[in-house]
Structure 1
Amino acid sequence: MTHTTSPPGQRVLAWTPIAVMAVIAVVDVMAGPMIGLLPLVSLGPAFAGLVGGWRRTAVIGVLALLLCVGLGLYNGLFVKPRGYTAMASVAGVTGVGIAAAVARSRREAELAGVRSIAEVAQRVLLRPVPLTAGPVQAAVSYTSAVAEARIGGDLYEVVASPHGVRVIVGDVQGKGLDAVETAAVVLGAFREAAHDEPDLLGLGRRVERSVSRELEGERFVTAILAEIRDDQEVVLLNYGHPPPMLVRRDGTADFPEPPSYALPLGLSAHGADGPEPFRVPFAPGEQLLLHTDGVTEARDRDGRFYPLGERTHLLKEPDAHRALEALREDLVQHTGGPPGDDAAMLLLRYHRHHDGTDAPPGA
């Protein structure tokens, strides 16, 4: 059986009511009955109601009442109304603290329910990518710009289709529920078309039509689609998205750009030409990192962008997931906390030779 321990900050808060009452008792005894510190004993149950449950608040309130009686008898205050007034204030604050603790517990339970629903939505929308698909190994990392956030506007998917391994990484314009809804539309269209369309250009057109039907106004999605087969090449289709990083066997990095940039998904009504698919050599032992602009546009405190091309050494780790986690931690360290925008990274490692044997791990 495993035992969980509370963080130090929570333990300090839990003992605060006892410490406050102890300090008040000591000062009251030392100062004498003329100072009139007895009503301050109610601070104990007041703090308990803010940080503890209703049962703990009730226990602290009973202790506060006993302490109030003891100090009142010691100071001889019950011959005057002061002692009874102090007890009434402690009892009243205890009642309010219990009510506050009950209300806070209900809010926390509701928040826990909302978080569990968000986690389910994340598992449905952003499903875990397969560890291996065709000739590639895959690992994914998602860093939200909002602490405790479970889902956002970045999207990714890997589909092992009859036509090769199809991949998408995208970034929805905007934030909030609208961005999540748009991401769901893009991923739904991609997952269906990835199995049906024989070529990547047809897949992109299917996704574009679906997005154009659903989006309103000037909303759009930047995205990059990739197709990997056993011919040691990757076909890329770029819809206004940052180019991926291709890490060669010798550790050098390339950022393959399209012959001409196309508009993002959802803006086809403007009449511009769609993207042109282009091929890039992708051999065993090489790595392809697809990412959103939350990675390359992440800034440190001095305004410097994250130097992704200088971090290829972090991807030498044989385990793809640990390598991507090291890169994510380096990104967070660069920004001094969560990045200013959601940051998604999808790492693909070509691990199979043309004869079906595996390339050396971490080559």
Structure 2
Amino acid sequence: MGLSERIEGLRESWRPGHALLVIPLALIVVITVVDLLAPADIHLGPLLVIAPAITASFAGPLSAGVIGVLAVAAQAFIGLHFGILTSRSVLVQIAAIAVLSALVVFFCLIRERHGQELARVRSVAEAAQQVLLWPLPDRIGPLRVASLYLAAEDEALIGGDLYAATRTGGGTHVMIGDVRGKGLAAIGEAALLLGAFREAAHQHASLPALAAALERSVGRYQADFEPESEAGERFVTALLLEIPDGDPIIRMTSCGHPAPLLLSPGHSVTVPSLHPAPPLGVGGTGQTGYTVDVFTFEDGDTLLLYTDGVIEARGREGDFYPFAERAARWTDSSPEMLLRHLRRDLLAHAGGYLGDDAAVIAIHRIPAVDSAGSGLHHGKAAQSDGFRHGSGRTGPAREC
């Protein structure tokens, strides 16, 4: 191992808390020196217990123990210097510093054990997040994708918001949803819906059939697990999307979920006009009750899917987060940079705390030149797809 590698290893092992050990060491030296120079009727030795006490705030039990031993040794040195080491007063002071230092070390041990338990719990939560919310790939066919999840509950990584994407034939199906409520019940319902979507997306070709299948899954879950006290109060808003590889369109079916934002180069933001059905779990409407809205989604466009935790985030003055206005600033950014900007801006607006979980997905259609290597090409929308060209960017056509 070379000298540079050894230096780098020492640098990695050196924690910021180690540098703070200079403070209690300096306190021990200063208190000892001042006590030696002060008049005989002034005794500052008992103040040495401050050193191990403050060490506990940034270091572990070993460091606190070492500082405690040094504090006891300093008090003994003061007594030895004045020739009163064996006096009752000095012996009591030494014993008091030793006992208080031992208590500090004891509480440091308890804190360290609790920290280890919390770390294990967080590792389990991270594993659960990976199982429940599978990380979306950076690339899905001709699409670049990025996702963001912000949990409102302290120390939580997952909640009642959900999203998923899967390849089906010549396109991609995407779902984003929001379970009413919080806590373990919301997480359980989110897990059920995600599993149902991943399976049903490959069995049902149309979005209405997919929505009806998800409605049946949610209904069965509620019948088995919904408490009687919450009967009729549990539901899930969801937005289902189908993005064909070869056509510059996107099909959407909304089950009570907010419409996404369509970002185009040049700071252009459009809100598609949807015809939402009731949320999942309110009551099945059958396949004929779900509408498919079709919009243009051309090369270079970015679609922003989100949950209501984003648009309902309040600032210090009670104002809602102006999502569309802020997103317009970064229409030319990549999906990853776009969500990075939005995350920082959203948390700044909300003062660092969100009242509800928030999830955002950015879907960017890669220009044909960039996606040529994948063998995927984009053509113009056919009239049979239900698309109407008009003066607007999102002139909808409806499929039932």
Q: TM-score of the superposition, structure 1-length normalised?
A: 0.88
1:316 deviates by 0.5
Structure 1 segment 39-54 matched on structure 2, within 5 A: 39-54=46-61
1:299 deviates by 2.2
Residue of structure 2 equivalent to 1:171: 178
Q: Percent identity?
A: 39
Residues 1:38 and 2:53 are matched in the alignment: no
Residues 1:214 and 2:214 are matched in the alignment: no
Residues 1:235 and 2:235 are matched in the alignment: no
CA distance in structure 1 between the partners assigned to 2:251 and 2:353 by the alignment: 32
In structure 2, the gaps of 5 or more residues are: 380-400
1:244 deviates by 0.4
Is the CA contact (8 Å cut-off) linking 2:335 and 2:362 kept in structure 1? yes
Residue of structure 1 equivalent to 2:394: none
CA distance in structure 2 between the partners assigned to 1:50 and 1:132 by the alignment: 45
CA distance in structure 1 between the partners assigned to 2:186 and 2:18 by the alignment: 39
Residues 1:65 and 2:72 are matched in the alignment: yes
Residue of structure 1 equivalent to 2:351: 336
In structure 1, the gaps of 5 or more residues are: none
CA distance in structure 2 between the partners assigned to 1:11 and 1:92 by the alignment: 24
Residue of structure 2 equivalent to 1:120: 127
| Deviating more after overlay: 194-203 vs 97-106 | 97-106
Q: For this pair of structures, how many residues does the alignment match?
A: 355
Residues 1:349 and 2:356 are matched in the alignment: no
User: Equivalent of 2:260, from 232, 235, 244?
Assistant: 244
Identify if the C-alpha distance between structure 1 residues 333 and 5 changes in structure 2 by more than 3 Å, giving closer, same or farther.
farther
CA distance in structure 2 between the partners assigned to 1:340 and 1:281 by the alignment: 34
Residue of structure 2 equivalent to 1:326: 341
Is the CA contact (8 Å cut-off) linking 2:254 and 2:277 kept in structure 1? yes
Structure 1 segment 120-269 matched on structure 2, within 5 A: 120-146=127-153, 148-162=155-169, 164-215=171-222, 216=226, 217=230, 218-229=233-244, 230-259=246-275, 261-268=276-283
Is the CA contact (8 Å cut-off) linking 1:225 and 1:237 kept in structure 2? yes
Residues 1:96 and 2:112 are matched in the alignment: no
Give the match's secondary structure for 2:303: strand
1:7 deviates by 7.8
Residue of structure 1 equivalent to 2:390: none
What code does the residue aligned with 1:306 have? Y
Identify if the C-alpha distance between structure 1 residues 351 and 148 changes in structure 2 by more than 3 Å, giving closer, same or farther.
same
CA distance in structure 2 between the partners assigned to 1:36 and 1:249 by the alignment: 74
User: What's the CA shift string for 1:329-362, capped at 9, x where partnerless?
Assistant: 2222322324332221101112255994479xxx
1:100 deviates by 1.6
1:72 deviates by 1.5
Is the CA contact (8 Å cut-off) linking 2:248 and 2:378 kept in structure 1? no
CA distance in structure 2 between the partners assigned to 1:129 and 1:51 by the alignment: 38
CA distance in structure 2 between the partners assigned to 1:257 and 1:6 by the alignment: 56
Residue of structure 1 equivalent to 2:313: 298
1:51 deviates by 3.5
User: Equivalent of 1:315, from 322, 325, 331?
Assistant: 331
1:224 deviates by 0.9
CA distance in structure 2 between the partners assigned to 1:66 and 1:244 by the alignment: 68
What code does the residue aligned with 2:221 have? E
Is the CA contact (8 Å cut-off) linking 2:264 and 2:331 kept in structure 1? no
1:292 deviates by 0.9
Is the CA contact (8 Å cut-off) linking 2:252 and 2:292 kept in structure 1? yes
User: Equivalent of 2:295, from 280, 283, 307?
Assistant: 280
Identify if the C-alpha distance between structure 1 residues 27 and 274 changes in structure 2 by more than 3 Å, giving closer, same or farther.
farther
Give the match's secondary structure for 2:136: coil
Identify if the C-alpha distance between structure 1 residues 278 and 7 changes in structure 2 by more than 3 Å, giving closer, same or farther.
farther
What code does the residue aligned with 1:156 have? Y
Give the match's secondary structure for 1:196: coil
Is the CA contact (8 Å cut-off) linking 2:299 and 2:365 kept in structure 1? yes
Is the CA contact (8 Å cut-off) linking 1:136 and 1:352 kept in structure 2? no
Give the match's secondary structure for 2:76: helix
Identify if the C-alpha distance between structure 1 residues 179 and 61 changes in structure 2 by more than 3 Å, giving closer, same or farther.
same
Give the match's secondary structure for 1:268: coil
CA distance in structure 2 between the partners assigned to 1:270 and 1:29 by the alignment: 87
CA distance in structure 2 between the partners assigned to 1:338 and 1:33 by the alignment: 55
1:99 deviates by 1.7
What code does the residue aligned with 2:129 have? Q
User: What's the CA shift string for 1:94-150, capped at 9, x where partnerless?
Assistant: 222222222222111111111111111111111111222233221111223346532
CA distance in structure 2 between the partners assigned to 1:308 and 1:192 by the alignment: 32
CA distance in structure 2 between the partners assigned to 1:269 and 1:196 by the alignment: 19
Give the match's secondary structure for 1:130: coil
What code does the residue aligned with 1:253 have? V
What code does the residue aligned with 1:236 have? M
| Deviating more after overlay: 82-91 vs 166-175 | 166-175
Is the CA contact (8 Å cut-off) linking 1:169 and 1:291 kept in structure 2? yes
1:50 deviates by 4.5
1:247 deviates by 1.7
CA distance in structure 1 between the partners assigned to 2:349 and 2:166 by the alignment: 32
User: What's the CA shift string for 1:40-72, capped at 9, x where partnerless?
Assistant: 222222333454222212211221111011112
